[in-house]
Structure formats: structure tokens, C-alpha cells
């Protein structure tokens, strides 16, 4: 019998009321393993009202006490990492080691959030003028929403929600309906950790639930991760409803390989960054940019056999390198883009179309795919494919490689592989990209720094996790204070100064 999932509201599971459901698949088999409810506007309103009650309790709790609950939650994440990886892998499809890596990145942010008593400290100046003291404080916003993607169903809710909760807010997570169970698992751990009911909520749904959050008058802030088209809509619609919005979106990440680079190291880096998680990462390297013909030849010589050797497999197969894609529609889209690349004249060196695995014939698999001599005019270069497809461009100069990167509409991540410090320094200065790796293929910052791209990879002017998240999830108050000292000054009609 197919499991029927529930929302998580007020510290407990709550059945859906709309009568609408979506199927949840095991991507390795293509079988329906659960049904997830799709919330109505009325249900979202109930969740927000419940979250407001939780916020009133949580925001008044002493900050060190809040930190102790977050630390307990961190301990539960560590203890339940294997169980959570199993839930994540079964619905998303990513391999168990990849799932555990994602969970660890969420734990990193949770550890950072345990330092919230220090992170939300304000500022103070004594006697700024006329015996007046001036100080600022940071306060929570209230009930904030997080709209999270299918490709990181644990890490992104933790990146958003833990920081929101640490700052004293209540959090409503609208996870992807494609792999929703991880969000429910996290909510249960929060309750076990002692978080007051209503502070962490999960409402499952589609566009109706998203619009309800975007338009709800009691939700002052929305954080989003997903595709650029949806992210732009959320940013514009949320801002039009007077909300604070940050939206982290699509990518087309390049890796420049200089002639002096260690080619074996560069090839290995491209395998991991291009094909890990079947390329379903916003920080995946999908374009290799060799500088010079000799560099391209040396790279392809090492790269092609490594790509051919990659194995598809189910999430729990210890020998699997590449997991299935999230849906059959994703598989069809990626394969159609591979076909388009061939039609446009790119050299297809390794073809992942038609991949099948014995015992998993219904799975949504696309094998590792490698193109050579890809030009900037081709769709496979311009489009975020979000699959296990790596494009090697025609040889470039250093200057044209930088220009190519800056001309692309996306600017999430980028890397350069070189032994020359001057090249690396010039590259880092000149590229218009949010996160840069020097001999690091996936330059995702650690939790105590900020994550975020540039151009159409991000809407809004704040970043995720790190100090920026504190600014996003709090509002500033500044207080000017003077206590009577017996001095009679009389009325002052001129604009106040420090004289």
C-alpha cells in the first residue's frame, strides 16, 4: 500500500485537507512509493497562524536556551545521519555517500548557529552627544518561509531554517513535492530536541502553497532555492507584496584549465564536480574551458576514459557513481538536450542516452555524457542542463575564457586550475561570479562564510548562511537613550546634532 504523507504543524503530523495529492517516486525503479498532500491556501493560513503562536514563545526564550536546543538538534542529526541518508536516497536517488555529504554540510551550518548568542549581538556607543547613549539591537522578523529544492532536500532546509530559528523566528518549510520525506524527518528531530511546537513547520504543496506564502500578510520574509524562472517569479511577486526575499537560482559553472595545470588533477576534479549527484547541483561544473589546443588534447585524453568508466546505479548500490535523475521528465529533457548538442555540431565523445540497468529498467537513468568542441552558440552551452553532461569548449585564450564566463547570464560558481599565482589572482579579480575556486572545483564556502552567486544566479542582495543570514533573518532597531540628570535645557527646535 502506498504511504500517504502528512504536513508537520504544531509539533505533530497533520493530514492534508485539500484532497489534492502528488506521487512520489523511487527514481531508481520508477515506482510510486508515496503520495504527498498539496496544501490549499486555507491550509497554509492555518500553518502560519500556528507558527505565530510558536514564534511568541520562541522569540521570548533566553538566547542561550535557544542555542542549547539547537545544539541538541545538532546531536540528533549526527546520531540519525544513516537513517536520514536512507530516506533522502530513496526519494531523491543520490548515492548514500553523497547523501551523507549533504547532511554533513547541513550539520556544519547547525554548528555555526549554536553560536547565535554572539552572532546577534548589537552595537553600543556611550555619550554620542548631550548625555545620550546610542545602541542597536537585532530582533527576529516573525514567521518566515523557506521554499526548498529537490536536489538538496536536507541541506537547504538546514541552511535556511536553522539560521531563521536561531535568530528567534518561526519557520515554515515548503519542500519540493518530489522528495518531501526528508523535511518531515527534520521536523521530528526538532521536536525531539525540545523546540517549542509551531516553531518549525512543514507544509507540502505546489504553486498554490507557494503563492499563499508569498501573499500572506504575516510572512515578512521568503528564502528560495531553485530554478531561475521560478526564482525570478518568487522574487518579484514577494517584493510586490512587501516581503524581504532572497532567491538562489540556476547556474552554468565553468572550470578554466591553464596549460600549466596538473592535468590528472584537473580531470579528476571534473569527474567529481561534473558528474557527482548526476549533475543535479547548482554548483556542478558543466563547462570545461581549456586554454590552448595542447591543453584541450591533454585534458580529453585523460577525461574521456574516466567518463566512460562511470557506472549508473541505485542509491544503495556501493559501486554506483551516477544516480538516476529525479523524474522521467528530467531524464527526457536531458536526453533531448544531448540530441540537440549533436544536431548543433558538438563532438559527442561519450553518450549517456538510453542508459538501462538490469533490475531497474524503469529507473530514470542517464549515463555520463561528454561533449568536445562546444561553442557558445549551442544550447548545451547556454542552458543549465542539470544532468550528467560535461561540455568541453573549443580552445580559448585566458582573456577570452574570462570574457566567456562574464558574458554568460549565470554567475554562481567558477574554478581555475593552474600552478601560477598571478593567473589565479587575475582570474579571481576579473570574473563576475559569486563563488570562485582556485584548484578547487566546487567552491561552496564553509558555514561561517556566505553562499551566493551573481547575475541571474541570485535575486536579492543578501547571501545564504554565514553572517549574511543573520542580517536577512533579523531586523535592526536603534535606540537613543538619555536619562534625566536635573539639567534644564528648554525646548530645542533645530534638528538634533552632536554639538
- For residue 487, name the pLDDT band (cuts at 50, 70, 90): low
Burial category of 492 from C-beta neighbours within 10 Å (exposed 0-12, middle 13-18, buried 19 and up): exposed
What's residue 469's pLDDT?
96
The verdict on residue 241 lying in a domain is yes
Quick one: which of 75, 64, 157 has its CA closest to 111? 75
Say yes or no: 230 and 270 in one domain: no
Confidence of residue 492 (pLDDT cuts 50, 70, 90): confident
- pTM, entire model: 0.95
Residue 290 and residue 161 share a domain: no
Residue 492 in any domain: the answer is no
Examine the domain organization and report whether 277 and 216 are in the same domain: no
Distance CA 385, CA 375 (A): 15
Give per-residue pLDDT as tens, 430-485. 999 999 999 999 999 999 999 999 999 999 999 999 999 999 999 999 999 999 87
Residues 286 and 349 in one domain: yes
Q: Is residue 498 part of a domain?
A: no
Same domain? 212 vs 332 = no
Please give the average per-residue pLDDT across 244-256, as a whole number: 98
Read off φ and ψ for residue 455, nearest 5 degrees: 55, -135
Provide the edge-to-edge strand list for the sheet that holds 7-9: 12-14, 7-9, 200-202, 170-174, 143-147, 221-225, 244-248, 458-459
495 assigned to some structural domain: no
Mean of pLDDT values over 320-327: 98
Q: How far apart are CA 394 and CA 313, in angstroms?
A: 32
CATH number of the structural domain spanning residue 195: 3.40.605.10
Give catalytic residue positions: 282
Cα distance between residue 261 and residue 369, in whole Å: 23
User: Do 160 and 269 fall into the same domain?
Assistant: no
Domain CATH number, residue 431 = 3.40.309.10
Residues 6+ apart with CB under 8 A from 413: 251, 253, 282, 283, 285, 433, 434, 435, 436, 437, 442, 443, 444, 453
Same domain, 262 and 408: yes
How far is Cα 295 from Cα 288, in angstroms, rounded to an integer? Answer: 11
Percent of the chain with pLDDT over 90: 96
What is the arithmetic mean of pLDDT over 166-195?
Answer: 98
> Same structural domain for residues 217 and 76?
yes
3-class DSSP state for residue 413?
strand
How many alpha carbons fall within 13 Å on the CB side of residue 296? 17
Q: Could you give the CA distance from residue 10 to residue 47 in angstroms, rounded to a whole number?
A: 8
Q: Which residue has the cell 566567456?
A: 404
pLDDT, averaged across the chain? 96
CA-closest candidate to residue 173, choices 155, 163, 187: 187
Complete edge-to-edge strand list for the sheet that includes strand 21-26: 3-4, 31-37, 21-26
Statement: residue 44 has pLDDT above 80? yes
Supply the DSSP symbol for 149: -
Q: Where are the alpha helices (DSSP H) in 366-420?
A: 379-382, 398-407
HEC sequence for 312-364: ECCCCCCCCCECCCCCHHHHHHHHHHHHHHHHCCCEEEECCCCCCCCCCCCCC
Query: What's the domain range around 328?
Result: 253-438
State residue 349 phi and psi, 5-degree precision. Answer: -90, -35
Take residue 329 and report the three cell numbers written for it: 521528465
- Model pLDDT, residue 488: 66
Same domain, 176 and 112: yes
Same domain, 167 and 277: no
Instruction: Give the number of domains in the chain.
Output: 2
H or E element: which one contains 269? helix 263-275
Please indicate, yes or no, if residue 445 is contained in any of the structural domains. no
Q: How confident is the model at residue 246 (pLDDT cuts 50, 70, 90)?
A: very high
d(CA 103, CA 2): 27
Q: What is the pLDDT of residues 79-120, one digit of tens each?
A: 999 999 999 999 999 999 999 999 999 999 999 999 999 999
Rounded CA separation 70/168 (Å): 11
Which among 94, 98, 109, 85 is positioned nearest to 165, based on CA atoms?
A: 109
Residue 25 lies in a domain: yes
Pairing outcome for strands 413-417 and 253-257: parallel
pLDDT digits (tens, 9 = 90+) for 411-435: 999 999 999 999 999 999 999 999 9
Give 376's DSSP letter.
T
SS3 121: coil
Would residue 447 count as lying in a domain?
Answer: no
Q: Is the domain of 363 the same as that of 464?
A: no
- Provide the grid cell at 366: 542517464
Whole-number Å distance between alpha carbons of 6 and 351: 41
Q: Which percentage of the chain shows pLDDT scores above 70?
A: 98
In a domain, 450, yes or no: no
Q: What pLDDT does 486 receive?
A: 66
Same domain, 335 and 204: no
Residue 498's pLDDT is 66
For range 149-176, the mean pLDDT: 98
Rounded Cα–Cα distance for residues 40 and 411 (Å): 35
**pLDDT reading at 499 higher than 70:** no
Q: How far apart are the C-alpha atoms of 274 and 392, rounded to whole Å? A: 11
Amino acid at each position: 500500500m502506498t504511504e500517504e504523507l502528512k504536513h508537520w504543524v504544531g509539533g505533530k503530523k497533520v493530514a492534508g485537507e485539500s484532497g489534492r495529492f502528488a506521487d512520489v517516486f523511487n527514481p531508481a525503479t520508477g515506482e510510486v512509493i508515496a503520495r504527498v498532500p498539496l496544501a490549499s491556501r486555507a491550509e497554509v493560513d492555518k500553518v502560519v497562524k500556528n507558527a505565530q503562536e510558536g514564534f511568541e514563545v520562541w522569540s521570548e526564550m533566553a538566547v542561550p536556551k535557544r542555542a542549547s536546543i539547537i545544539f541538541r538538534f545538532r546531536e540528533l542529526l549526527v546520531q540519525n545521519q544513516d537513517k536520514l541518508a536512507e530516506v533522502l536516497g530513496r526519494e531523491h536517488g543520490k548515492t548514500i555517500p553523497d547523501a551523507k555529504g549533504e547532511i554533513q554540510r547541513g550539520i556544519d551550518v547547525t554548528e555555526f548557529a549554536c553560536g547565535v548568542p554572539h552572532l546577534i549581538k548589537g552595537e553600543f556607543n556611550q555619550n554620542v552627544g548631550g548625555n545620550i547613549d546610542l545602541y542597536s539591537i537585532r530582533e527576529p522578523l516573525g514567521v518566515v518561509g523557506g521554499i526548498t529544492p529537490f536536489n538538496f532536500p536536507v541541506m537547504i532546509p538546514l541552511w535556511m531554517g536553522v539560521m531563521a530559528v536561531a535568530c528567534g523566528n518561526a519557520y515554515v518549510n515548503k519542500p519540493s513535492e518530489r522528495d518531501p520525506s526528508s523535511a518531515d524527518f527534520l521536523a521530528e528531530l526538532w521536536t525531539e530536541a525540545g523546540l517549542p511546537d509551531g516553531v518549525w513547520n512543514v507544509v507540502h504543496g505546489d504553486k498554490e502553497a507557494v503563492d499563499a506564502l508569498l501573499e500572506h500578510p504575516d510572512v515578512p520574509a521568503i528564502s528560495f532555492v531553485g530554478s531561475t524562472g521560478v526564482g525570478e517569479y518568487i522574487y518579484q511577486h514577494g517584493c510586490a507584496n512587501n516581503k524581504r526575499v532572497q532567491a538562489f537560482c540556476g547556474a552554468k559553472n565553468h572550470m578554466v584549465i591553464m596549460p600549466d595545470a596538473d592535468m590528472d588533477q584537473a580531470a579528476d576534479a571534473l569527474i567529481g564536480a561534473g558528474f557527482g549527484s548526476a549533475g543535479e547541483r547548482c554548483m556542478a561544473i558543466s563547462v570545461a574551458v581549456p586554454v590552448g589546443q595542447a591543453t584541450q588534447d591533454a585534458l580529453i585524453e585523460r577525461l574521456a576514459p574516466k567518463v566512460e568508466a562511470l557506472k549508473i546505479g541505485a542509491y544503495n548500490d556501493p559501486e554506483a557513481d551516477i544516480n538516476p535523475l529525479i523524474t522521467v521528465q528530467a531524464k527526457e529533457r536531458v536526453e533531448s538536450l544531448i540530441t540537440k548538442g549533436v544536431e548543433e555540431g558538438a563532438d559527442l565523445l561519450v553518450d549517456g542516452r538510453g542508459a538501462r540497468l538490469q533490475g531497474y529498467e524503469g529507473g530514470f537513468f542517464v549515463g555520463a555524457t561528454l561533449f568536445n568542441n562546444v561553442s557558445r552558440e549551442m544550447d548545451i552551452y547556454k542552458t543549465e542542463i542539470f544532468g550528467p553532461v560535461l561540455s568541453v569548449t573549443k580552445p580559448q585564450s585566458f582573456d577570452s575564457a574570462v570574457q566567456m564566463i562574464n558574458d554568460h547570464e549565470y554567475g554562481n560558481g567558477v574554478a581555475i586550475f593552474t600552478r601560477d599565482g598571478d593567473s589565479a589572482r587575475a582570474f579571481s579579480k576579473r570574473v563576475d561570479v559569486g563563488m570562485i575556486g582556485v584548484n578547487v572545483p566546487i567552491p561552496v564556502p564553509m558555514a561561517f562564510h556566505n553562499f551566493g552567486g551573481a547575475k541571474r544566479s541570485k535575486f536579492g542582495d543578501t547571501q545564504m548562511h554565514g553572517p549574511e543570514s543573520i542580517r536577512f533573518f533579523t531586523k535592526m532597531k536603534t535606540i537613543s537613550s538619555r536619562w534625566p540628570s536635573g539639567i534644564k535645557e528648554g525646548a530645542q527646535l533645530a534638528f538634533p546634532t552632536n554639538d
